[in-house]
Structure 1
């Protein structure tokens, strides 16, 4: 077996990781909570659930324009329910080893989840808390706007164009593109690959990272 660079000729100043579906899987937990909420509000649960992933809860609720519904209050209630439902949250295969290989000052988690929920899920998955966590309340506009990735890069002291984003949703990839970052799609929770231009990998197994003279390079075992 040999290792080949996943991004030929490229190394990166820092890595920015989405959380849900990218370094850990909380889909079952989230969909249990959201299914109850959607049914309570008379929504078609099966049609609604695909819309919740990758974006902030408050924005998901607000765009429904449900009469008499306060998006902020509902988002807080959903967060509390999600924080209680963490029994089957698990890391994406190989994520712990991959994250442990990174210099602490070179990576961050950039999530659409509120900070308290993000910290709860990271702990439930047995993953290390990141040196930097950008959460829902840190930006005015969530994904697919680029604000979160721009903020993450800025707080790490690098340009977003010099970052590699790890994502699993179209909203996240749109945000990464808008920020000018490169992106790698983690497909562990996907039924099929996304139809996007970005490289895709099932998990972190078979991936490795090396420090080079110009930054961090990602390699794939072949």
Structure 2
């Protein structure tokens, strides 16, 4: 969701940047580590003394829900999603459900029929559990899925699940080195269903 169909970087970095400064962290070094992962996992991995990851991530979630200023769809994403049969795609996000709803609404993207959020898994990305569950909810094997991702943790999760990967670079400030196919946005991209029911993604 974040970085793949919506751009929420401004909001996320405002909230997480303030939190990192309060913890005395090097904000510039910290910021790249929080994208694409569950908040509780990000905080837990820091091993900060006296910091309760669950309590801190709950406070951050509340602040992020209240601040959706600048949350926008990635170019072409709304039309692309509208071209997909609703039963053939899902959102798999590290965001909690309340935050996902707030950001999708802010970006003008309809809530999907199927979604996997932070509450649905015991271990977040790069663990593949989320994508395995997403495929299960779609009623297919992960190997039949195309995962759209933008950060290393998500790419690794998709790979480990056995899915194909498409890397979205719309929110990247630097070139991405990846063996996977890449697109900068969804302009001109749409779904195509062949006579045998196979779903493919085409541009033009």
- C-alpha contact 2:147 2:165 (8 A) present in aligned 1: yes
Structure with a larger share of its residues in strand = 1
Pick aligned residue for 2:72 from 68, 73, 90: 90
- C-alpha contact 2:84 2:190 (8 A) present in aligned 1: no
Moved more, 186-195 or 35-44: 186-195
User: Unpaired segments of 5 or more residues in structure 1?
Assistant: 1-18
Aligned to 2:90: 108
> What's the TM-score, normalizing by structure 1?
0.90
CA distance in 2, matches of 1:214, 1:181: 19
CA distance in 1, matches of 2:84, 2:190: 10
Structure 1 runs of 4+ with >3 Å offset = none
Instruction: Kindly indicate whether structure 1 or structure 2 has the higher relative contact order, using CA contacts under 8 Å at least 6 residues apart.
Output: 1
User: Unpaired segments of 5 or more residues in structure 2?
Assistant: none
Aligned to 1:22: 4
Structure with a larger share of its residues in helix = 2
Pick aligned residue for 2:164 from 171, 176, 182: 182
CA distance in 2, matches of 1:64, 1:191: 24
- C-alpha contact 1:56 1:142 (8 A) present in aligned 2: yes
- C-alpha contact 1:90 1:124 (8 A) present in aligned 2: yes
> What's the TM-score, normalizing by structure 2?
0.98
Pick aligned residue for 1:216 from 180, 199, 204: 199
Pick aligned residue for 1:78 from 60, 64, 75: 60
- C-alpha contact 1:24 1:92 (8 A) present in aligned 2: yes
Task: Describe the superposition over 1:179-215 as per-residue Cα deviations: whole angstroms up to 9, x where unpaired.
Answer: 0000101110012331111100000003221011242
Query: What count of residue pairs does the alignment treat as equivalent?
Result: 203
